[in-house]
């Protein structure tokens, strides 16, 4: 694993379209809330994976409390919710955090599919 941690860029409704929907490569969006315990456990893993997948997948985050319109638009009913976007479309989604191994397996599969498609 890459030892460089990479802070995720926080998006709002104002920059979501530019950063996610118009992105040329795959983008993984972490919909989270600051009061969510599993979100806090997931955050350092996302930062690590952002470094590991640098140049392949862009990682960003959206605070659903600050961007309720995005949470509504993408039907976020629980946090954390991770969505993978490619070509402006949501192509994969996982709700909840079941542990680092399961998350990494999903991310590897999703990222590899995003890179090779």
CATH of the domain at 57: 3.40.30.10
Considering only CA atoms, which of 16, 38, 36 is closest in space to residue 85? 16
Residue 1 falls inside a structural domain: no
Active site residues: 36, 39
Query: Is residue 4 situated within a structural domain?
Result: no
pLDDT at 53: 84
| 3-state DSSP helix/strand/coil % of the chain, to nearest 5 | 40, 25, 40
Q: Is position 3 within any domain?
A: no
Give the model's pLDDT for residue 3. 45
Predicted confidence (pLDDT) per residue in 9-53, tens digit: 999 999 999 999 999 989 999 999 999 999 999 999 999 989 988
57-104 pLDDT tens trace: 899 999 999 999 999 999 999 999 999 999 999 999 999 888 888 888
Domain that holds residue 23: 9-111
| Overall number of domains in the chain | 1
Nearest residue to 96 (alpha-carbon basis) of 37, 20, 50: 37
- Supply the pTM of this predicted model: 0.89
pLDDT of residue 1: 44
């Amino acid at each position: 694993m890459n030892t460089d941690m990479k802070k995720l860029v926080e998006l709002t409704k104002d920059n979501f379209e530019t950063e996610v929907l118009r992105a040329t490569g795959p983008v993984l969006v972490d919909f989270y809330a600051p009061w969510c315990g599993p979100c806090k456990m997931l955050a350092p893993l996302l930062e690590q994976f952002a470094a590991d997948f640098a140049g392949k997948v862009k990682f960003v985050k959206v605070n659903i409390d600050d961007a309720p319109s995005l949470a509504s638009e993408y039907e976020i009913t629980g946090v954390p919710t991770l969505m993978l976007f490619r070509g402006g479309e949501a192509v994969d989604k996982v709700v909840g955090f079941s542990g680092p191994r399961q998350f990494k397996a999903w991310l590897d599969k999703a990222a590899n599919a995003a890179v090779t498609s």
